[in-house]
Amino acid sequence: MSDARRPSTVPIPALDKADRSELLRALEASLGSAFSSEPLWPAPGPLVIVISGPSGVGKDALIKKLRDCNPNLHFVVTATSRAIRPGEVHGKDYYFVSKEEFLTMVHKDELLEYALVYGDYKGIPKQQIRDYMGKGYDIVLRVDIQGAQTLRRILGDSAVFIFLMAESEAKLVERLVDRKTETKESLLVRIATAREEVKHVKNFDYVVVNAEGRLDNAVELVESIIDAEKAKVQQRRTVI
């Protein structure tokens, strides 16, 4: 502030002699208002983060690690009509429902997005997202590329879209083969689909390479993306 605007009647004590609170009071009096302790910038609102990528790239593996270290993230549990795989837990990995139950959810408009993927339905329950956003959680959605494209149409730029990619096609195929969950037919479909899917990366906001043996780096990069998004001046605001 220029000297011209400062009321000349308020004396500011010498900086090397005055105690801190005396100095602060004098500065306030001199400026004509008390210093506010209110935050200068509002806390960022909840973020919706969409993580996608080809089958076998490591989406589940990455999400498992993210979950361990980020209690403020809510990982949306997708409803699916596919059969449960060994080790999977109902209500944690997916809500495993019958095709009939799934179609009832569709008719009741309870899903943000749904699709038929490799013969099975997968969909995102809306209410779960609303509940957790209301509690201040950031939301993580794990969807295939087709789902990410639909979500982009629905959510536009209000959500953050991250494409998870392997370092090479060869490594992606090795991972799918080593996982031992696919038949010969479904392997071929997934690989052919992955070749097409990589072309959609341009519709995403970020790409994260999940290189062999370097899952931790991919997790750190996703965490950094979330931090950066939280620090943006123009915040994304999602309404579900």
Catalytic residue among 142, 152, 190, 236: 190
Closer residue to ligand ATP (CB): 129 or 145 = 145
Check if the beta carbon of residue 78 is closer than 8 Å to that of residue 124: yes
* Beta strands at 138-142 and 78-80: parallel, antiparallel or unpaired: unpaired
Closer residue to ligand ATP (CB): 46 or 53 = 53
Closer residue to ligand ATP (CB): 142 or 152 = 142
132 membership: H or E segment, kind and range: helix 126-134
Beta carbon of residue 215, minimum distance to ligand ATP (angstroms, whole number): 4
Task: Look at the block and give the residue holding tokens 């408009």.
Answer: 109
Beta carbon of residue 42, minimum distance to ligand ATP (angstroms, whole number): 35
Instruction: Please confirm, yes or no, whether 153 is among the known catalytic residues.
Output: no
Instruction: Please confirm, yes or no, whether 179 is among the known catalytic residues.
Output: yes
Beta carbon of residue 81, minimum distance to ligand ATP (angstroms, whole number): 15
Instruction: Please confirm, yes or no, whether 214 is among the known catalytic residues.
Output: no
SS3 content of the chain, % helix, strand, coil (to 5): 45, 20, 40
Beta carbon of residue 141, minimum distance to ligand ATP (angstroms, whole number): 13
Check if the beta carbon of residue 69 is closer than 8 Å to that of residue 160: no
Contacts of 79 (CB under 8 A, 6+ apart): 94, 95, 97, 102, 105, 111, 114, 121, 122, 123, 124, 125
Nearest residue to ligand ATP by CB is 58
Closer residue to ligand ATP (CB): 26 or 77 = 77
Catalytic residue among 25, 67, 175, 179: 179
**Residues in the site for ligand ATP, rule: CB under 6 A?**
53, 55-61, 175, 179, 210, 212-215
State CA 182 to chain mean position distance: 28
Point out the residues that are catalytic.
85, 179, 190
